[in-house]
């Protein structure tokens, strides 16, 4: 960096002596600032000195911006002065480049000889020197462009710089390839290293990562510079993409796309030549194992179906379906894992990934898991089964299908209702057809003027005459309520569950017919209205 300070001080003094008044004021101000920063840098060290040197770089950029403005608005009078300045820039940047080349060489030697704990700092210093060197190359190319604009081109030096950039691109490409391979190798070693070896391998891996990052930055910068110099950078753009995987505008260039496609086709072709026999053999093994376990899956389902269908077990339909389904799926999953292991896949990361994915899916599907848990409770406690008539989750009807997540109920008007199991388990469940015998509860009323004994006799005759009514348990026919408009009897015969509605409808119809024949009235609500006449006679 010392050579840069000398360059800046010299340039400032040259420009101040020869520029017109307005520019002279600007450059004089820069000269004072640069001189002050130079004096300050002499008193600093370490990171503080690096900060001051960065400020000097920024001042140099301002200086070059002024010169660029002067060149863009040049006149015949200013051209000689600008030529002197640009030629001085060419000389000083050449000297600075030589200085940095020596420094890079020294830092590379120092890195090889440095102790483990010092390598990171030396690596950083080396990366900074390489980055600054590539920046100087770009500024030198701008200098040659300025000379051409000022009518004094230097083709020999420009050609030499072009050749230097080409060699530099090749070197950075080779360095990136080497460091990328080293980083990948060290990453593999890190995974298998013992606890005692890990610190050393981690440090080497970190150094390799930084080297790769530095190489990528420098190569990108050189590619941009080479594009301006009309140097073919197709292979380097392709290499950056293959290493980083980042999409850039350069990839849209036809040459780059063709090169990438050709490289991929060549890689695929070589891979097929080298691995086709082995891959085909593994695919045959994979297919054979899957075929065998599909047969085992079907056999297992049949065996489990026969076992759970045994009358002695008295399993619900949901529990039977659960065991049948899980047995088949379990066998097939085991076969799939065995097949995957035979084609070379490491099952440990896959199973670990399934575990992590299970936790994530569990958080995302809390409601579904709640339904699943409720389905398990329904499976264990069996409050109803497929074919039962139930009132559950606010829905009444026949259970047509059950799963661990939801229950499908067909209503009496033939609608399909799919109810989440959590809603069913969290509410009252009424199983209408769970018991084999049910009591039919009916109420019939007669008028207050009718005979109670006669009505009881008629009701007993009707109930006893119906063939579907059970003799045990005994029926109940009693005078129940003296209502506002009627005398109410309860009629409660016992029937088989499947005969419930037939008996209910038959008895209700027969009561109406018999009451009409026997002269028993079926009253409806009545209300007596009393009118009081008021005589308003006037004298």
Helix (H) / strand (E) containing 120: helix 119-149
By mean pLDDT, which of 29-38, 209-218, 387-396, 398-407 is the weakest?
29-38
Tokens 């594009």, located at residue: 227
Burial class (CB in 10 A: 0-12, 13-18, 19+), 409: buried
pLDDT at residue 506, rounded to an integer: 94
- Select 367-431's CATH number: 2.40.440.10, 2.30.30.60, 3.40.50.620, 1.25.40.10: 2.30.30.60
Q: What is the pLDDT of residue 257?
A: 55
For the stretch 186-232, pLDDT in tens is 888 877 777 777 777 787 878 888 888 888 888 888 877 877 777 77
Q: In what order do the strands lie in the sheet with 406-410?
A: 416-420, 406-410, 395-402, 389-392, 430-431
pLDDT class of 391 with cuts at 50, 70, 90: confident
The domain limits of the chain are 2-250, 367-431, 437-518
Q: Helix/strand/coil (H, E, C) string of 252-315?
A: HCHHHHHHHHHHHHHHHHHHHHHHHHHHHHHHHHHHHHHHHHHHHHHHHHHHHHHHHCCCCCCC
Bond from prior residue into 473 cis (ω within 30 degrees of 0): yes
State residue 224's pLDDT score: 78
- For residue 368, the Cα-to-chain-centroid distance in whole angstroms is 19
**Per-range mean pLDDT, top range of 44-58, 371-385, 425-439:** 425-439
Confidence of residue 508 (pLDDT cuts 50, 70, 90): very high
Look up residue 35 and give its two tokens: 């001189």
Q: Look at residue 348 in the predicted model and tell me its pLDDT.
A: 66
pLDDT of residue 329: 81
Mean pLDDT of 475-488: 91
9 vs 389, more confident? 389
Q: Does the structure show a pLDDT above 80 at 511?
A: yes
Mean pLDDT over each residue of the chain, to the nearest integer: 77
Q: What is the pLDDT of residue 301?
A: 83
pLDDT tens for residues 141-189? Answer: 888 888 888 888 888 888 888 888 888 888 888 888 888 888 888 888 8
Can you tell me the mean pLDDT for 232-246? 69
Spell 327-353 as b/e; 16+ CB within 10 A means b. bbeebbeebebebeeeeeeeeeeeeee
Terminal Cα-to-Cα distance of the chain (whole angstroms): 135
- 62-71, 191-200, 406-415: which is most confident: 406-415
- Which pLDDT score, from 0 to 100, does residue 477 have? 93
Interval 430-457: pLDDT, tens? 888 888 899 999 999 999 989 999 999 9
Lowest mean pLDDT among 81-95, 408-422, 441-455: 81-95
Question: Which pLDDT value is given to residue 468?
Answer: 92
Does the domain at 437-518 match CATH 1.10.3370.10? Answer given as no
Instruction: Name the token pair of 381.
Output: 């406690």
Express as a percent the part of the chain with pLDDT over 70.
75
CB burial of residue 30 (10 Å; 0-12, 13-18, 19+): buried
What pLDDT score does 463 carry? 93
Per-residue pLDDT, averaged over 380-393, amounts to 82
* Whether this model's pTM surpasses 0.85: no
Q: For residue range 317-370, what is the model confidence (pLDDT) as tens digits?
A: 666 777 777 788 888 888 887 877 777 666 666 666 566 556 555 554 566 777
Report the C-alpha gap between 222 and 141 in whole angstroms: 12
Q: Distance of alpha carbon 484 from its chain centroid, rounded?
A: 70
Strand locations in 421-496 (E) = 430-431, 437-439, 442-446, 476-482, 487-492, 494-496
Residue-level pLDDT at 115: 78
Instruction: Say what the pLDDT of residue 507 is.
Output: 94
Q: Read off the tokens for 474.
A: 């005994």
Lowest average pLDDT, out of 357-371, 441-455, 471-485, 511-525, goes to 357-371
């Amino acid at each position: 960096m010392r050579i840069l300070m000398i360059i800046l001080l010299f340039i400032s003094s040259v420009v101040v002596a020869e520029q017109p008044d307005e520019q002279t004021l600007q450059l004089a101000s820069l000269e004072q600032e640069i001189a002050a920063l130079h004096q300050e840098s002499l008193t600093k060290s370490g990171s503080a000195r690096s900060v001051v040197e960065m400020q000097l770089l920024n001042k140099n950029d301002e200086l070059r911006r002024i010169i660029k403005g002067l060149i863009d608005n040049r006149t015949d009078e200013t051209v000689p002065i600008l030529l002197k300045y640009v030629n001085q820039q060419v000389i000083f940047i050449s000297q600075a480049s030589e200085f940095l080349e020596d420094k890079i060489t020294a830092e590379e030697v120092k890195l090889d000889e440095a102790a483990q704990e010092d390598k990171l700092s030396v690596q950083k210093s080396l990366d900074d020197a390489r980055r600054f060197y590539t920046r100087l190359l770009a500024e030198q190319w701008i200098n040659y462009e300025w000379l051409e604009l000022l009518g004094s081109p230097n083709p020999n030096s420009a050609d030499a710089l072009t050749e230097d950039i080409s060699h530099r691109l090749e070197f950075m490409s080779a360095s990136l390839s080497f460091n990328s391979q080293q980083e990948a190798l060290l990453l593999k070693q890190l995974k298998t290293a013992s606890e005692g070896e890990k610190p050393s391998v981690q440090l080497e891996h970190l150094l390799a990562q930084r080297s790769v990052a530095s190489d990528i930055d420098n190569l990108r910068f050189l590619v941009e510079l080479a594009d301006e110099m009309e140097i073919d950078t197709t292979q380097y753009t392709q290499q950056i993409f293959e290493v980083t995987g980042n999409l850039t505008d350069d990839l849209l260039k036809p040459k780059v796309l063709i090169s990438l496609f050709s490289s991929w086709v060549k890689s695929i072709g070589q891979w097929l030549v080298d691995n086709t026999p082995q891959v085909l053999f593994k695919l045959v093994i994979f297919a054979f194992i899957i075929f065998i376990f599909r047969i085992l899956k079907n056999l297992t389902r049949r065996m489990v179906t026969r076992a759970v269908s045994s009358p002695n077990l008295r399993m619900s339909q949901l529990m039977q379906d659960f065991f049948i389904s899980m047995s088949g799926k379990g066998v097939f999953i085991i076969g799939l894992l065995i097949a995957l292991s035979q084609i070379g896949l490491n099952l440990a990361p896959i199973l670990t990934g399934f575990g992590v994915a299970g936790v994530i899916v569990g958080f995302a599907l809390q409601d579904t898991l709640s339904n699943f848990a409720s389905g398990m409770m329904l499976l264990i406690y069996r409050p109803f089964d497929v074919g039962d008539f139930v009132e559950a989750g606010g829905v009444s009807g026949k259970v047509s299908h059950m799963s661990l997540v939801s229950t499908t109920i067909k209503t009496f008007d033939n609608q399909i209702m799919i109810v989440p199991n959590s809603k069913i388990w969290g509410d009252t469940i009424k199983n209408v057809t769970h018991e084999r015998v049910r009591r039919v509860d009916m109420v019939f009323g007669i008028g207050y003027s009718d005979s109670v004994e006669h009505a009881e006799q008629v009701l007993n005759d009707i109930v006893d005459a119906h063939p579907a009514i059970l003799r045990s348990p005994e029926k109940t026919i009693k005078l129940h309520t003296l209502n506002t408009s009627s005398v109410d009897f309860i009629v409660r015969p016992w029937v088989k569950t499947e005969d419930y509605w037939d008996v209910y409808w038959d008895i209700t119809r027969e009561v109406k017919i018999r009451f009409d024949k026997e002269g028993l009235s079926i009253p409806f609500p009545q209300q007596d209205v009393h009118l009081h006449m008021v005589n308003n006679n006037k004298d």
